[in-house]
Chain A
């Protein structure tokens, strides 16, 4: 079974631009969670989607948004990029809803650099 895939793996953008990251979960997994990892803040939860519905959202500004499609693939979008958005963005999928009580399978991440 293929693992979680994320595209692109690396991305360089400039301040003010917007970016869209993609995540394809393991086949059969319906829950997708997104995380941001920075050296200063560590890993932080962004949001979780299950059956095309956002179930939970972390403490991030509205510039961060996401969606999930009927095939469980998910995208996250960051608008009006700031230097502080430079980070590793990870997605993880799990079989059922609720990232807290189900084993999560992580993708390799997208490393975003904002110049």
Chain B
């Protein structure tokens, strides 16, 4: 069964800083998800990736399949980026459903 670990648990940054959140998983996966959860509970899917790199605005997600590691980067961070960022992966090799989630990284960006 897959295990998903995220670091750091908490992160405080100054506006404009470059931010990196890490996610590692224990077994091979078909895709890894990055999610963003704002206070109040709403969750938005940021990325789903199975190889390489994806970019959306100031957000960049990378994945290294061999090392079973993914990173989420935020360039030129802004207070509105303050949220909990969660990575998720299928529970079993080849599993279509049953996502396993990391504990989340709580990001606070100060103006």
Contact = CB atoms under 8 A, between A and B. Distances in A.
Contacts of B76: none
A21 interface: no
Interface string B76-96: 000000000010111100011
Counting contact residues on chain A (CB < 8 A from B), the size range is 20 to 34
Counting contact residues on chain B (CB < 8 A from A), the size range is 20 to 34
B69 interface: no
Interface of B: 29-31, 33, 35, 41-45, 48, 50, 86, 88-91, 95-104
29 contacts: A42-B86, A42-B101, A42-B102, A43-B86, A43-B104, A44-B101, A45-B97, A45-B98, A45-B100, A48-B98, A55-B97, A56-B95, A90-B41, A90-B43, A98-B97, A99-B97, A100-B31, A100-B90, A100-B98, A101-B31, A101-B48, A101-B90, A103-B45, A103-B48, A104-B33, A105-B45, A106-B42, A109-B42, A111-B41
Interface of A: 33, 37, 42-45, 48, 55-58, 88, 90, 92, 97-106, 108-109, 111
